[in-house]
C-alpha cells in the first residue's frame, strides 16, 4: 500500500526520560531516514540507514541513536531526552535514494 | 553557507495566478526532489527530477544542472495549493538529502 507509519504521533516526556520513536514501511525499501523539523532550521538529517544494521550519521546525530534489525523497521532512540530535542520527527524511506516517502511525523515535547 | 537556497521564502497569490518557485544549490547534484507540505502535515513527493523538465498536471519541474538551479512552476493556482514547497538535493550518490527551508505559498480566493 506504499505507506510509512510512525508511532507514536504525539509524545510528552520529562527531561532525562528515554524516548523511543518507531517507524515502519511496507515497500521493502532498503534506505530509511530520520529527520527532525524545526521552525527556521528546516529539515535536518539525524541518521540514515542503508539496510539492516547499516546505519550512518546524518548532520545532527548527537543525542540520538538508531536501530534497524528488520528492513521494514527503523527506530530512533533518545537516551535521556533534553528540552532542545523538542521537535517534529519525520521518518522516510526510499529505494536506493530515489523518491522519498515520508511518515506523518511524531511530535515530541520534552518538558 | 547553505548548500540549498529557496526563493522566495513566502509568496501570496490570488487564485488563478501562476507561481514560480526557485531552488539554487552550491554543491554537486546527484538528484533533486520537490515536496509539498501542508501546515502541520507530512511531506508528499511532487517530483524526482535530477535533470530536465517533468510535468504533472498543473505542476512543472525544471532542473538545469549547469546553472545549479531547479524550479517548480504552478499554473492556475488554487486555494488547495497553499502550503510549503521544499526542494531537496542529493549530492554525490550518498542518498542523504539536503533540504532547503521551503517556500510558503498562500493562495487566496
Q: Which residues of A10-33 are buried (b: 16+ CB within 10 A; e: fewer)?
A: ebebeeeeebebbbbbeeebbbbb
CB contact under 8 A, A102 and B44: yes
Judged by a CB distance cut-off of 8 A, whether residue B99 touches chain A is yes
The tens-digit pLDDT sequence of chain A (111 residues) is 789 999 999 999 999 999 999 999 999 999 999 999 998 888 999 999 999 999 999 999 999 999 999 999 999 999 999 999 999 999 999 997 789 999 999 999 999
- Let me know how long chain B is: 109
pLDDT of residue B80 exceeding 90, the answer is yes
C-alpha span between A79 and A81 (Å, rounded)? 6
pLDDT-based confidence at residue B28 (cuts at 50, 70, 90): confident
Give me chain B's average pLDDT, please.
Answer: 93
How many inter-chain contacts (A to B, CB under 8 Å) are there? 55
Q: Which residues in chain B are closer than 8 Å to A35, comparing Cβ atoms? A: 99
Confidence (pLDDT) at B91: 85
What are the beta bridge partners of residue B24?
A: B5, B69
For residue B3, the model assigns a pLDDT of: 87
Amino acid at each position: 500500500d506504499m505507506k510509512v507509519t510512525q508511532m507514536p504521533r504525539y509524545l510528552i516526556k520529562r527531561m532525562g526520560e528515554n524516548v523511543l520513536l518507531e517507524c515502519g514501511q511496507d515497500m521493502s525499501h532498503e534506505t530509511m531516514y530520520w529527520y527532525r523539523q524545526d521552525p527556521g532550521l528546516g529539515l535536518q538529517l539525524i541518521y540514515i540507514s542503508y539496510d539492516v544494521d547499516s546505519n550512518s550519521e546524518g548532520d545532527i546525530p548527537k543525542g540520538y541513536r538508531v536501530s534497524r534489525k528488520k528492513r521494514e523497521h527503523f527506530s530512533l532512540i533518545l537516551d535521556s531526552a533534553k528540552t532542545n530535542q523538542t521537535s517534529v520527527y519525520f521518518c522516510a524511506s526510499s529505494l536506493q535514494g530515489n523518491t522519498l516517502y515520508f511518515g506523518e511525523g511524531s511530535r515530541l515535547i520534552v518538558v | 553557507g547553505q548548500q540549498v537556497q529557496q526563493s522566495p521564502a513566502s509568496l501570496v497569490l490570488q487564485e488563478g495566478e501562476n507561481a514560480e518557485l526557485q531552488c539554487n544549490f552550491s554543491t554537486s547534484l546527484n538528484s533533486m526532489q520537490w515536496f509539498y507540505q501542508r501546515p502541520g502535515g507530512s511531506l508528499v513527493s511532487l517530483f524526482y527530477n535530477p535533470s530536465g523538465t517533468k510535468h504533472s498536471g498543473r505542476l512543472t519541474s525544471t532542473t538545469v544542472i549547469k546553472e545549479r538551479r531547479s524550479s517548480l512552476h504552478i499554473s492556475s493556482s488554487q486555494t488547495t495549493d497553499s502550503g510549503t514547497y521544499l526542494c531537496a538535493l542529493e549530492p554525490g550518490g550518498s542518498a542523504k538529502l539536503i533540504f532547503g527551508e521551503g517556500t510558503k505559498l498562500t493562495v487566496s480566493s
